[in-house]
Homo-oligomer: A and B are copies of this chain.
């Protein structure tokens, strides 16, 4: 069946420079992140990948773009990865081919949305939206229940993904908590009032 290979948290899966693996990789379990690191240490998590997501080869090395940022993919959690996807889509996983196409689109659409988030939403809106989005995605894969989900991200990672400072992320999370929109419990995050949280997504 081709068991996923296991990776511990914080392993580097691929690196923009090494023209290395040009194969799509399926996140079978766990979380991963596409990150860019600037020379001076600033970091941006471009995209968060959860189980079921597919990582396309990083087309990062376009001359001129990669110069100022090193783009890598790292695991966030301990994760299982399937790197033989391309081959297997012609074989045992053929039924997934169509789903794959949809997945590519979803990943790309999220990238567009991430641009809008960073460009035009306030910290508060961004944070709320991220929670709603992660919940919806994990829900779809049966990883979350109606009111809660795993969230194996440190506040620093949230900050790097949301384009904010850690301190400010903390402030926003406090606020959302005070408002009863999120609760942290046992390593999970609880979203007690999804409709209201969704409202918090807009101005």
- Residue interface mask A140-167, B partner, CB < 8 A = 1: 0000000000000000000010110000
B residues near A163, Cβ cutoff 8 Å: 118-120
A136 adjacent to B202 (CB under 8 Å): no
A44 adjacent to B111 (CB under 8 Å): no
> How many interface residues does A have (CB within 8 Å)?
40
Q: How far is the CA of A108 from the CA of B47 in the complex (A)?
A: 13
B residues near A9, Cβ cutoff 8 Å: none
Whether a CB of chain B sits under 8 angstroms from the CB of A10 is no
CB distance from A20 to the nearest CB of B (A): 16
Q: How far is the CA of A38 from the CA of B119 in the complex (A)?
A: 12
B120 adjacent to A43 (CB under 8 Å): yes
Q: How far is the CA of A114 from the CA of B202 in the complex (A)?
A: 22
Question: A46's contact among B40, B115, B133, B160, by CB below 8 Å, is which?
Answer: B115
B120 adjacent to A39 (CB under 8 Å): no
B residues near A109, Cβ cutoff 8 Å: 59-60, 62, 65
Further pairs besides A44-B116, A111-B112: 17, Cβ < 8 Å: A34-B112, A36-B112, A36-B115, A36-B116, A38-B116, A38-B202, A44-B120, A46-B112, A59-B106, A62-B106, A64-B133, A65-B110, A65-B113, A68-B201, A108-B108, A114-B115, A118-B119
Residues of A bordering B, CB below 8 Å: 34, 36, 38-40, 42-44, 46-47, 59-60, 62, 64-65, 68-69, 71, 105-106, 108-116, 118-120, 133, 136, 160, 162-163, 201-203
Q: List 29 A-B contacts (CB under 8 A).
A: A36-B115, A36-B120, A38-B116, A38-B120, A38-B202, A40-B202, A42-B120, A44-B115, A46-B115, A46-B116, A59-B105, A59-B108, A59-B109, A62-B105, A64-B133, A64-B136, A65-B110, A65-B112, A69-B113, A69-B116, A111-B111, A111-B112, A111-B115, A115-B118, A118-B118, A118-B163, A119-B160, A119-B162, A120-B163
